[in-house]
Amino acid sequence: TLDQTGGGVLTLEGPNDLFDGIVFGEQSPRRWMAGSDYFRRTWADQSGWAQETTDNQTLAQIAIVYRGQQITLYSNGAMYAEYTMQSAPAGFGPDDTVLIGRRHVRAGTPASFAGVVEDARIYDRALTAEQIASLRADEPSDPRPWAWWTFEGDEAEDAMGTFPAGQLLGHTHIQDGQLILDGADS
């Protein structure tokens, strides 16, 4: 759904509302961004970034790489945007929370990402452009992900075992190896 606002596709959240995530349409319509707590690591002026045009039958691959204070966003294996954040990067671990659909736990609106997630991964290192371009949904990669959800089966399980099995809330469900998010409360 290209006209949605502020849905988080994949978010890591720590204590005290600290979070980083892949967010769609929050600052600028139809644009992907690196979302963060109070926009501390988010680029404010996204007007020069391309608008998403993928139709509702096509999956888009979105990746965000944090290398020091440099953030690079990729769309379908190609660089989408790049900037240097003003604050230091955040650190996360296996005791933190992973959200798929919701921007962060205490978001002021119940709106969530509306769409389909085929494959979600978190790496413990910054991948190169070549490594990102070589990623294929539901296929292993080198390097191995730190956490990986393929949505095969009935539960949202991290195939790497870093995080416990997820809880499906609202109208979220898994169907044909995909996580289906309705955007309202999933």
Confidence tier at 92 by pLDDT (50, 70, 90): very high
Residue 22 binned pLDDT confidence (cut-offs 50, 70, 90):
very high
How far the first Cα of the chain sits from its last, in Å, is 14
Is-contact 72 81, C-beta < 8 A?
yes
The answer, yes or no, to whether residue 185 has pLDDT greater than 80, is: no
Which pair of structure tokens corresponds to residue 183?
Answer: 């955007």
Both tokens of residue 90? 């955040």
Residue 10 has pLDDT above 80, yes or no: yes
Locus of tokens 């954040």: 85
Average pLDDT, the chain: 94
Confidence (pTM): 0.94
Residue 158 has what DSSP assignment?
Answer: B
- pLDDT at 31 exceeding the cut of 90: yes
Compute the distance between CA of residue 37 and CA of residue 53 in angstroms, rounded to an integer: 27
What's the pLDDT tens digit per position in 43-83?
Answer: 999 999 999 999 989 999 999 999 999 999 999 999 999 99
**Average pLDDT, integer, range 141-160:** 96
Q: pLDDT digits over 110-143, tens only?
A: 668 999 999 999 999 999 999 999 999 999 999 9
Q: CB under 8 Å, gap of 24 or more: what pairs does 78-82 form? A: 78/133, 79/129, 80/32, 80/49, 80/50, 81/32, 81/43, 81/46, 81/49
Residue 186 has pLDDT above 80, yes or no: no
Average pLDDT over residues 100-114: 84
Check pLDDT > 80 for residue 109: no
